[in-house]
Amino acid sequence: MWATHWWKPVLFVVIAGHLTNVCVTLFLHRAQTHRGVTFSKLAEIPMRVWLWLSTSIVTQEWVACHRKHHAFADREGDPHSPVMEGLREIILKGAFYYRQAVRQPGILEKYGKGTPNDWLERYVLARLNWLGLVLMLTIDVYLFGFYIGPLVWAVQMLWIPFWAAGIINGVGHALGYRNYDVKDESRNISPIAIWLGGEELHNNHHADPHSAKFKAKWYEFDIGWVYIRMLAAVRLAKIRYARA
């Protein structure tokens, strides 16, 4: 059992959380939403399965919500803007705004085009998205026992609602520095973008959404771009567009 020392479940949560952040930024965001990069099935399918286990996110829903965010960033129609709703609201209830947006009539058809529609997506990942969470709970209980396992699972379930729906969509449009004077209020949370997979460079992204690389200045670091370059080096990724 991995819960014999306190640091083991903590280390697992940190590594698993970073992996989730990376799968969100590489697969859902840079590849599926903005088409800046494409991945081979050997890289894509493990990311899709991990997101199924750790978040239950349905690809088409996430993509549709995020594309609508870019279409109406920080004005009426934005699914999750702290400018419109308030920073505290987005940090605490960002997942609620996400669910509210994807349930709107026609949003999936309009903004969710081009996402995976293979057998895996139709019959497992989208149809049985709840099953991934049950399997993750089973894995956590097996690894850490009946007391610590559910706590580890609970942190995993809150991970993306807090870090993505709350911090990136909230703080990333309220606090930080700006390299580009774009029409919305996007901010770079930090020039060293590791914890959230590179999403901390949010203003850079809004200035050039289709770029697979979020880094724009010499002093900035985008770990998501590092991962993409590594995958491209072994032919598991193909970069479609990246800012110079």
Q: What is the pLDDT of residue 93?
A: 84
By the 10 Å C-beta count (0-12 exposed, 13-18 middle, 19+ buried), 80 is classed as: buried
* Mean pLDDT (10-residue bins), the chain, 244 residues: 86 97 98 98 98 97 96 92 86 84 92 97 96 98 95 96 90 95 96 97 98 98 98 98 94
CA dist 64 and 192 (Å) reads 28
Per the structure block, which two tokens stand in for 29?
């965001």
Q: What is the pLDDT of residue 94?
A: 79
CA dist 155 and 162 (Å) reads 10
The residues with which 239 forms a beta bridge, in sequence order, are 37
User: Cβ(79)–Cβ(97) under 8 Å?
Assistant: yes
Residue 221 backbone phi and psi in degrees, to 5: -135, 120
* Residue appearing with tokens 């829903």: 61
Q: How far is CA 208 from CA 59, 91, 205, in A?
A: 22, 25, 5
Q: What is the pLDDT of residue 49?
A: 98
pTM: 0.94
Q: What is the pLDDT of residue 96?
A: 85
